[in-house]
Structure formats: C-alpha cells, structure tokens
Amino acid sequence: MNQELTMNLKSELREIAFANEMDYFGVGSVDRWANAPEGRRPNDLLPEAKSVIVLGIRIPEGAIESNHRAYEGLRHGIFTYMIFGYNKLNERLDFAAMKIAQHLERKAKVKAYLLPSSIPRDEYLMMGEMSNRHAAVCAGLAEFGWNGLALTPEAGPRVRWVPILTEAELEPDPLYNGPKLCDHSKCSVCVDICPVHALSDDQAVQVTIGDRTFSYALLNKPQ
C-alpha cells in the first residue's frame, strides 16, 4: 500500500470514528509496544500487526458526579455511573471499533483484530489482553499521570478506550508532547485520597514508549 493510499485510509478511518461519536482517534506503530509484557504486545495477538488504532470516548461529567454522590450516601447513583459511565460507553466503543474493522477488511483488504473495550481480562492479575491506557499513550492521545491512568489535556482520565490491531501500516501519530499534565513533584492528591493506600508516593514504574520514558506510581500490593 503506497503512502497516498495509506494517508487516505487513515483519514477515512478517522471520519468513521467521529461519525460514530468517538471523541479521540489515534494510531501507534507496533514498535512502541516493544517493552510491553510478553504475551500482551500487539504481535502476540496478531503476528502480522503493524499498527494499533485507538478510539476514545469521554465519560459524561454527570455520570462522574453520580459516582461521587454514591459514596456520599446517594447509593442509587452508582447505577447511573455503571450504565452511562461504563456499560453504554463500552457498547459505543465496541460498535465503532467494529465499523473500523469492517472498513479495513472490506475496503483495504487487510486484517483487523478486535479487542473488547472492557473484557477479556485475567481476573487474578486484573490485567487485560492488552492495556487500553498504555494504548492511548502509544497512540499519542494521552500521557500517564502518577496514578497510572492515561490523562488527556481535555478530559484528564475521564475517557474510556478501545484498541484495534491491524496489519495495515498506517502513519503513526506523534507521542503527546504538550504541557505536562501531571507533576508529582508538585501534587500528591491521588496518593493522599486513595482509600486503600494503593499508590506509592516515592517508588515509580518506568515505561519506555518510543523515545519517551514515562513514570507512574508503583502499586502497593498486599503480600
């Protein structure tokens, strides 16, 4: 596939994503996952994969608020978040991902590997087949906060994600290089408010993606 066709294909895929109510669209080349855990790299799932397309949709502010209210005593608020901050968004993500995959396979004649936005995962390790938050960073849509979540300039961590693996060699988007979205040297709110003290204040995990190294808190796991 020549460069012009590749650029046209990427543009078509972006249009499909936004036509299906996605807020974010990005592409990362599979080499950005070189340091991911074995078994959870794109080529472990689709050996021919060359690109990963990542879609994102913002979580409604009202759904976030209902979740907060649930912990203040308005217990039924949790159902508002569960439906409109989680289930319905996952359905939209999966539907948009299917549309992207269909376009890749029907028009471009290239294979696409779909991963559900919320499952499957290893229940013991609480780890998905591939990390959605790492995918968002690899596609240039976000950077890591100290809490380990993918932060966007517009919505912080309030975005849900889905990746699509493909053997199409699409032009990757640059990694996020804007203003720093989280500076742990100046803020430790996530550490302080965590009810189970899961986030280390001084020990970090380092992740190298492309030419960038990101750091986020080591999780304090029970022995």
Backbone φ and ψ of 130, nearest 5°: -150, 140
Q: How far apart are CA 150 and CA 28, in angstroms?
A: 15
| Amino acid letter, 103 | H
Contact 116, 185 (CB under 8 A): no
Backbone φ and ψ of 212, nearest 5°: -115, 145
Helix (H) or strand (E) holding 90: helix 88-106
Pull the structure tokens for residue 123.
Answer: 């229940």
Residue 220: the pLDDT is 86
Pull the structure tokens for residue 39.
Answer: 């078994």
Residue 50: the pLDDT is 98
CB burial of residue 213 (10 Å; 0-12, 13-18, 19+): exposed
CA-CA-CA-CA torsion sign (51, 131, 156, 159) = positive
Q: How far apart are CA 141 and CA 21, in angstroms?
A: 16
Q: Which residue reads 């040297």 in tokens?
A: 185
Residue 6: the pLDDT is 77
At the topology level, CATH places domain 3-174 in NADH Oxidase (3.40.109)
Q: How far apart are CA 194 and CA 74, in angstroms?
A: 20
Asked if the peptide bond before residue 120 counts as cis, ω within 30 degrees of 0, the response is yes
Helix (H) or strand (E) holding 103: helix 88-106
| Number of helices followed by number of strands (H, E) in the chain | 7, 10
Residue 123: the pLDDT is 58
Tens digits of pLDDT across the chain (223 residues): 566 677 899 999 999 999 999 999 999 999 999 999 888 899 999 999 999 999 999 999 998 888 778 777 777 778 888 999 999 999 999 999 999 999 999 999 999 999 999 876 665 566 678 999 999 999 999 999 999 999 999 999 999 999 999 999 999 999 999 999 999 999 999 999 998 999 999 999 999 999 999 999 998 876 6
Parse the chain into domains and list their residue ranges. 3-174
Q: What's the predicted TM-score (pTM) here?
A: 0.92
CA distances (Å), 126 to each of 45, 87, 119, 185, in order? 18, 18, 10, 29
Q: How far is CA 54 from the centre of its chain?
A: 7
